[in-house]
Copies of this chain bind each other. A is one copy, B any other.
Amino acid sequence: MTEGKGVSLDVDSSVNGPLVAEVVTQQLEAMLAAGNYDGVKTLLEPVQPVDIADAIGNLPLILQALAFRLLSKNEAIEVYEYLEPAVQQSLLDRLRSGEVLELVERMSPDDRVRLFDELPAKVVRRLLAELSPEERRVTAQMLGYEVETAGRLMTNEFIDLKEFHTAVDALNIVRRQAPYTETIYSLYVTDRERHLTGILSLRDLVTADPQTKIGDVMTREVVNVRTDTDQEEVARAIQRYDFLALPVVDREKRLVGIVTVDDVIDVIEQEATRDIYAAGAVQAGDEDDYFQSNLFAVARRRVVWLIVLVFANGLTTKVIANSDEVLRQVVLLAAFIPLLIGTGGNVGAQSSTVVIRGLSTQRIQTLGLLKAVLRESIAGALLGLLMLLFVVPFAWWQGEGPLIAAAVGISLVAITTLAATAGASLPLLFHRMGLDPALMSAPFITTATDVAGVWIYLSTASWLLANIAK
């Protein structure tokens, strides 16, 4: 069989989720409008839940509830968990209260808590009151943990075994509980007080002799996290150890939940987006929100940093205004200010980018912080010297003589060295002080070096003018 035209969904498009969702939306809308409900069922049967969720989210509001009702019960839960929070809410308003209750009751606790975070407090109280006692207890408990901690990411739907179970008994427990658990591939062993005493994988269980006791095949050294462990730390641990899931214990070291790898991938992406936004001086926040929020919300998330930076730039203005004497004498000096501060800014941005990313992926720690700063400073000086080769001849020609060329050359090396040192050390200093190093990202380094760079440049020119040129 070779590839050819006429295949409805080829291999390449099948991995392009957003595209699949778009195609499905169009067909779905046409079928719903025509009242072809059997057609909808056939259409959606082979589609992945996340693509169905995107397609429903793209539908006009009035069709969303209609499409959602055509899903089978089990599929509806899965699709609902993938919907955007705004669509989840509008569906809650449009479904009958019995339907809503069943949906919320059957969601995974972690997804339910994420939904409740978005709903008005009044609605949450009502829904909580109507949940079954067990689900209510779990949900209330999870809502009590701080956001972005393991307690919020975890699910309590895991399989726990006892050390005295035989492998064959355990496999039967797994079979029975499989429909109600998030994963059956990581299994947990607890004692009578629910303390975690070991873990084993389904692989261990399947390959074990049927009569072996669980206590003899489990691993007793368990990497675990606490309910208050930061989500980024949880993500790093799962990534580092290639785990499919990680157990979460409470202060008394009792097993209360597990975090699975799929939740953690989203955390890693979310944290990367945060680093990238910080590097671009955009206020941190949920990325989904960003592309959906209105213009004023977009402006609000940027204007604060911009105004802070404008005030900092005002200092540069002051420095130049105070040196207007030297500019009045050699007006061409002004032409090189953007080049010098631009280059300083770029070198500083490079250093801070590398250091902030290194802190966040924990790789810079192996190098040692002081050594990292020293390395960046030397690199800054080296880069300044390399650029002299291009900049000094240009300044000589454009600045009509050696005075400007000398001032530009001397200050270039000073500025790049300073920018690299500041770019590396300020994020590290923030890190040491327990603040977020990303606050000291490129735009701030750039603005800080602007002030110093202009001062160095104009002072150098002024000194040269007074002592050499005369």
Number of this chain's copies in the complex: 2
Question: Contact check: which of B195, B268, B341, B387 meets A1 at CB < 8 Å?
Answer: B195
Q: For A387, list chain B residues within 8 Å (CB).
A: 303, 306-307, 310
| Docked pose: A423 CA to B21 CA in angstroms | 29
Which listed segment binds B: A26-34, A93-101, A121-129, A174-182? A174-182
A1 touching B253, Cβ below 8 Å: yes
Known A291-B366, A334-B327; contact A11-B249, beta-carbon cutoff 8 A? yes
Q: Which of A148-196 contact B (CB under 8 A)?
A: 171, 174-175, 178-179, 184-185, 193, 195
A52-84 toward B: CB 8 Å interface, digit per residue (1/0)? 000000100000000000000000000000000
Identify whether the interface residues of A are mostly helix, strand, loop, or mixed.
helix
Chain A: residues with CB nearer than 8 A to chain B?
1-3, 11-12, 14-18, 46-48, 50, 58, 171, 174-175, 178-179, 184-185, 193, 195, 202-203, 206-207, 220-221, 223-226, 229, 233-234, 236-242, 244, 249, 251-253, 261-262, 264-266, 268-269, 272-273, 275-277, 279-282, 287-288, 290-291, 295-296, 298-299, 302-303, 305-307, 309-311, 313-314, 316-318, 320-321, 324, 327-328, 331-332, 334-339, 341-343, 345-347, 349-350, 352-354, 356-358, 361-367, 372, 375, 378-379, 382-383, 386-387, 390-391, 394, 398, 442-443, 446-447, 450, 454
Q: Pull 30 A–B residue pairs with CB atoms less than 8 Å apart, ordered by A.
A: A1-B193, A1-B195, A12-B226, A14-B223, A15-B237, A47-B221, A50-B241, A174-B206, A175-B206, A179-B207, A184-B203, A276-B279, A277-B354, A280-B354, A288-B363, A291-B363, A295-B378, A295-B382, A299-B379, A306-B343, A307-B390, A310-B343, A313-B343, A316-B339, A317-B339, A324-B332, A324-B335, A331-B331, A337-B337, A338-B454
Residue from B223, B262, B303, B361 in contact with A383 in the complex, judged by beta carbons closer than 8 Å: B303
Q: Is the CB of A443 within 8 A of B349?
A: yes
Instruction: Give bound CA distance, A336 to B450, whole Å.
Output: 12
Which 7 pairs between the two chains have the least Cβ-Cβ distance? A280-B353, A272-B272, A46-B221, A320-B335, A334-B334, A242-B262, A313-B339
From B253, B299, B331, A382 is in contact (CB under 8 Å) with B299
Assess whether A338 is in contact with B335, with CB atoms less than 8 Å apart. Answer: no
Which residues of chain B come closer than 8 Å to A334, judged between CB atoms?
Answer: 320, 324, 327, 331, 334, 337
A375, closest chain B residue (CB): B295
Complex CA–CA separation, A62 to B308 (angstroms): 53
Chain B residue at smallest Cβ distance from A357:
B276
Chain B's nearest CB lies how many Å from the CB of A1?
A: 6
- The answer to whether A447 touches B239, judged by C-beta atoms less than 8 angstroms apart, is no
Whether B398 contacts A318 by the Cβ 8 Å rule is yes
Alpha-carbon separation in the docked complex, A306 to B339 (Å): 11
- Nearest-CB distance from A297 to chain B (Å)? 10
Whether A349 contacts B1 by the Cβ 8 Å rule is: no
Which residue on B lies nearest to A453, using beta carbons?
Answer: B338
Is A341 a contact partner of B338 (Cβ separation < 8 A)?
A: yes
- Smallest Cβ distance from A138 to chain B, in angstroms? 21
